[in-house]
Amino acid sequence: MSNNDTNVARTGNKNLVDTAAANGRFHTLGKALEAAGLTNVLRGSGPYTVFAPTDEAFEKLPKETLNNWLKPENKAELISVLKYHVMPGRASGADVENLTAPKMMQGQTAAVTKDGNKLQIDGATITETDIASSNGVIHAIDKVNVPTKQ
């Protein structure tokens, strides 16, 4: 592999949206991003760090919660929730371990805690780190984080 190939392997050759779609565990997140009109943002230059709730994380929500967020009249709330999972900049799993309260794209901070080998952001456990993409990185989480009302 040339140095150029190594960089592509390390950073990924798909944007965040396409990387999440190809992963197979983020279908609900993809639908929510589409409904919120945020796919173009996360296909942009970035870089961004996405703490991505898995499909299983969305399944933990009451069914009516997700259905309500997906309604056009609740788009602003959906955008707020989704932006609360995105941090400007590229932060590897090792970088996240050194954060305490990163400011999310939504405007609020999210507490990062570590208990033994368990790394959490706002109470959601990071189950997989460093899913590389061309414009950022995805860390899978096991819960949908909801920002406090402002």
Q: Which H/E stretch holds residue 48?
A: strand 48-53
Mean pLDDT of 82-91: 97
pTM greater than 0.85 (yes/no): yes
Q: Is the pLDDT reported for residue 120 higher than 50?
A: yes
**Tokens representing 74?**
């609740």
Distance CA 119, CA 8 (A): 27
- 35-68 in b/e form (b: 16+ CB < 10 A) is bbebbebbbeebbbbbbbbbeebbeebeeeebee
Full set of structural domains in the chain with CATH: 3-141 (2.30.180.10)
Q: Is the pLDDT reported for residue 1 higher than 80?
A: no
What are the residues whose beta carbons fall under 8 Å from the beta carbon of 65, sequence distance 6 or more?
A: none
**Tokens representing 147?**
């920002």
Specify the pLDDT at position 63: 87
